[in-house]
Structure 1
Amino acid sequence: MSVAKKLASQTAVYGISSILVRVLNYLLVPIYTARFVAAEYGIVTGLYAYVSFLNIVFTYGMETTFFRFANRPDADRRLLYDRVMSQVVVSTVVLTGLLVLLARPLMQLLDLPPGRERYAIWLALILGLDALVAIPFARLRLENQARRFATIRVANILLNVGLNLFFIVLCPDVLAGKYLVGLQPLVTQVYDPSIGVGYVFLSNLAASAFTLLLLSRELLDFRFRLDATPLAAMLRYAYPIMLMGLAGMVNETLDRILLPQWLPKNFYPGQSSLTAVGIYGACYKLSIFMSLVIQAFRYAAEPFFFSQSTEKNSPRTFALVLKWFTLCCAVIFVFISLNIEDFAWAFLRRPEYRQGIAVVPVLLLANLFLGVYWNLSVWFKLTDKTYYGTYIGGAGAVLTIGLNFLLIPVLGYMGSALATLACYFTMAAICWWLGERHFPVPYPVARLLLWLLAAVALVALGWLVQPEAYWLRHGWHLLLSLAFVAALVLVEKPQRLVRG
């Protein structure tokens, strides 16, 4: 099996679980948009934006560090696992305790409605539990235990979805007398209507605790070791990755934090800033189809790139991987962007959410460039120059903040979407430019840019030319999508991937 086929098969294994997890989680979007007004969903969107930053702090680059140190010739993987796990356990206990103690002032600082302090406590516990399972999950990936990895992740999301359905759909409907009226006495014992949107966090907390239980074998299979000298070396490698992750999270989620702060009053007539955040957050979810491909690819690619680093033909392999990754993502961009009307109707149940669908093609393209960046970033990880990732991510963060500041007052959440696109494109361009000087790889940059320009042109044509009749409009969009795929097949000939 060629190295390209090997990576493709590993991506498929991890991808099936990632896609299933994301799809199941994605099915919650129409539930949330049907059961919660945009202002309530804005609370969920805003708090999870902060959680995404704290997730980086809680793991502080130790997953990638674990992979890097485990693949060194003299690595004692058993001892390395003990040391990394011990350090993560200590830091997790300290950070979780701080967040619980600071729950009330944090909620006041975020200017959320009173009585929401328990949300902060629940989220702190979620962060702690997820941090504790990060290294055991990384160990499963390192040992190629894809089936166990996938099974546990799917079990987590199944429980999360099931609890969401129970507390957000079943219990309110039973109490309202819509069906199963005989269950009302039982429901009143387990369901508190005043928690409302808080059940989103409680369901997540229960699923995270269940994951901890499922990984108990890996969690208990270590001896507590805190050795200062090796840990210092790992932290020197890890902290730039953490800073890079924080910078990346600025680019990915800070817009949902900045939007309510910098959006002028009454920019959207009759809507509060939390409503705008809810609309933007729900529409952002429609870019998940690109995100899940990137996530599945990263699960397989990170250990793959490290294992291939000593091979003579590794630069050619990396170039081949980037090419087909980009082309596959371009197909997703074209298909979703041209058929966004159907996706929006299916997943954004209240009409108020569908006001923002114009941001979806922009966000899809932005996430495509994020995936390109993750491909290109292999050079500074393999050369142990992870500080370059910090510089690139920092530049992207500065650009994100600056463009949001300039564009939100003028364009609202479309300004945030354009800032995200500009940021990820710039990061990918800088990473490629630096990589050419430190770790040259023969990437077909000009060819890929031409394909992406063609994809953008097709999407623009589909949005500008909109037949009135529903079936005629959808036939036109399907024709454009198929034309792009046919052109790719004819010009690039996918069988070349198999020969590679």
Structure 2
Amino acid sequence: MQTFVLVKNQRKVSNLHNAIRRSKKTNLHPMTLRKLAGDTLIYGSGFILGKVLNYVMIAIYLTWKFDGETEKYGLYTEFYFYVALLLVILTLRMETTFFRFGSEDGQKSKAYDQAAMLLVLTSGIWIACLFLWNTEIAAALQYPGFEMHIVVLGLVLALDILVAIPFAALRLEERPLRFAALRISGITINVIAVLGFLELMPILADGGNAFVQSWYNPEHSLLYVFIANLLGSLFVFLAFFSRYFKMKWNFDKELSKRMLRYALPLIIVGIAGVINQSGYIVLLKTVLPGDLMTNLSEGGVYAAATKIAILMSLFITAFNYAAEPFFFNHSKNKEAKQTYADVAKAFTLVGTTLFVGILMYLDLIQLMLGSSYRTGMHVVPILLMAFFMLGLYYNFSIWYKLTDRTRYGAIISSIGALITVGLSFYLIPLFNMEGSAWATLACYTFMAGACYVIGKKYYRVPYDMGRIGTLVLLALATYGISVFVNGLVDGPLGITLAINTALMGGFLWVIFGMEREMIVSVLRKRSGG
């Protein structure tokens, strides 16, 4: 990811030294952090804006379209859980592996070619399995009759596998604008197609359009959502298609073995991550005492609540997209460890602000959802803190990637997944969906803590844990005061929002006082003016 401008002449070196001297009280490297912040925003426009389009214009829109049909929303969520899980397995985590091997001198093209060839192989195997055994897959999932849904989503998965390395190359080549343009274009096509299928086609069919009437069936609304996704993915694949003709199709057995050896623990990390973040839908479907449709309905309500908490997750995802190549590109700088510590503190500052901001205005934000889905808002604070802890884990996990000890990441993530599953089986029968949220928080808290403690042994980064902990406690205290005061007042929405706005202002005032040096240095123009 685009993160830091290489210093090519003495003038830039001088500017950098001046900037560092200006921020000596915080040991902050403002130009570096501004660059990472800028890239996070650009990747945010590509990934987050894309996700916002996807989540708001599709996922949240569907809570209105499927209002009163929460089980259908649960089914939608479950299908995409399987897509996310298979994407981790079938991409072989080659994006991160490509960053690791492609950042070596003179190895970018060779690493790209080997990674891309491996994914052509996995996507081909997947497509063959899809067409041979879609009926068996549908039966195994307890959804006979959904074979076409599975085929369409399976093709989406295949196309997403094939564009994984081209997208990763844009990140390593520091081309976030093209990355953003392609992401947004693909998802925009997806959104337009969803609206076309679910809004325009019914109007045309009711108006007597013979062509639309010949194929459109409102009972197949979920299938049309998947077809829309396929159209968006196909557009992105075609945009990258020419790259496959520019590759050198020379298989390097030794390099591929090294890459796969590096990637294997990361695949385990990825599988555990998907289970931790999205496996709730299968756990709720399995563990809740109701029948299949009742449990899917409960899962649909919980899934909608996660779409509110996903506002935190989107920031974390954009941060991770920008930070991962950033960490690799700066690993050889002598100030790298201090920079990583500064990044973690900056992440905490933004993350805790998001936590407080979302919760102070949750009564308004929840109105985005269809009325059938608002009963799950009590899990949002738990999920927000869980996703924040996941972000800290991403910060703390850099040591095992830089030192090629990815097996530790696999072990930590696997234990985290076991915590999620184990606690879910224990807590869901007791607390329903809230049990799933607490299991997720416990998992990510363990992962962040374990990664920090073990990392001190192999790659000690001087994280300011005192300040990080203070910011987290301040955010939790602000939320706690809001709950207490509003419980006493028990006023209308306007009074609640006024109280929460005052608390939000107080929180911002306190953290600005605490971190004035860092905030000002990041916001200051690169010229240092």
Aligned partners of 1:140 and 1:149 also within 8 Å: yes
Structure 2: segments with no counterpart, 5+ residues: 1-15, 17-30
Q: Where do 1:132-281 residues align within 5 Å?
A: 132-176=162-206, 181=207, 184-189=209-214, 191-265=216-290, 272-281=294-303
- What is the rounded CA distance, in whole Å, between the counterparts of 1:83 and 1:22 in structure 2? 29
- What is the rounded CA distance, in whole Å, between the counterparts of 1:135 and 1:272 in structure 2? 40
Identify the residue that residue 404 of structure 1 maps to in structure 2: 424
For residues 327-385 of structure 1, the C-alpha deviation after alignment (integer angstroms, 9 at most, x for no partner) is 1010111111121111111x212x22101011111111111111111111111101111
Aligned partners of 1:137 and 1:149 also within 8 Å: yes
Q: Where do 1:40-439 residues align within 5 Å?
A: 40-73=72-105, 75-112=106-143, 114-176=144-206, 181=207, 184-189=209-214, 191-265=216-290, 272-345=294-367, 347-349=368-370, 351-439=371-459
- What is the rounded CA distance, in whole Å, between the counterparts of 1:408 and 1:172 in structure 2? 39
- What is the rounded CA distance, in whole Å, between the counterparts of 2:202 and 2:473 in structure 1? 48
* Aligned residues: CA RMSD: 1.8
Q: For residue 442 of structure 1, report the CA deviation from its aligned partner.
A: 0.7
Aligned partners of 1:7 and 1:301 also within 8 Å: yes
Aligned partners of 2:412 and 2:450 also within 8 Å: yes
Q: 1:469 aligns with which of 492, 515, 522?
A: 492
The letter of the residue matching 2:200 is L
Aligned partners of 2:60 and 2:307 also within 8 Å: no
- What is the rounded CA distance, in whole Å, between the counterparts of 1:408 and 1:100 in structure 2? 36
- What is the rounded CA distance, in whole Å, between the counterparts of 2:90 and 2:127 in structure 1? 9
Counterpart secondary structure, 1:292: helix
Q: For residue 474 of structure 1, report the CA deviation from its aligned partner.
A: 0.8
Q: For residue 454 of structure 1, report the CA deviation from its aligned partner.
A: 1.7
Aligned partners of 1:4 and 1:498 also within 8 Å: no
Q: For residue 248 of structure 1, report the CA deviation from its aligned partner.
A: 1.1
Aligned partners of 1:96 and 1:127 also within 8 Å: no
- What is the rounded CA distance, in whole Å, between the counterparts of 1:102 and 1:249 in structure 2? 24
Identify the residue that residue 13 of structure 1 maps to in structure 2: 42
Q: For residue 471 of structure 1, report the CA deviation from its aligned partner.
A: 0.9
Identity %: 38
- What is the rounded CA distance, in whole Å, between the counterparts of 1:230 and 1:95 in structure 2? 24
The number of residue pairs the alignment matches comes to: 488
Query: What TM-score do the two structures reach when normalised by structure 2?
Result: 0.89
The letter of the residue matching 1:353 is Y
Q: For residue 102 of structure 1, report the CA deviation from its aligned partner.
A: 2.0
Structure 1: segments with no counterpart, 5+ residues: none
- What is the rounded CA distance, in whole Å, between the counterparts of 1:266 and 1:298 in structure 2? 38
Q: For residue 156 of structure 1, report the CA deviation from its aligned partner.
A: 0.5
- What is the rounded CA distance, in whole Å, between the counterparts of 1:82 and 1:372 in structure 2? 33
Q: For residue 99 of structure 1, report the CA deviation from its aligned partner.
A: 2.9
Moved more, 441-450 or 232-241: 441-450
The letter of the residue matching 2:514 is V
Aligned partners of 2:90 and 2:122 also within 8 Å: yes
- What is the rounded CA distance, in whole Å, between the counterparts of 1:111 and 1:66 in structure 2? 37
For residues 63-85 of structure 1, the C-alpha deviation after alignment (integer angstroms, 9 at most, x for no partner) is 11111101123x33222222221
- What is the rounded CA distance, in whole Å, between the counterparts of 2:493 and 2:396 in structure 1? 41
Moved more, 462-471 or 361-370: 462-471
Aligned partners of 2:281 and 2:296 also within 8 Å: no
- What is the rounded CA distance, in whole Å, between the counterparts of 1:79 and 1:433 in structure 2? 36
For residues 281-316 of structure 1, the C-alpha deviation after alignment (integer angstroms, 9 at most, x for no partner) is 111111121111111111211111111101111111
Query: What TM-score do the two structures reach when normalised by structure 1?
Result: 0.94
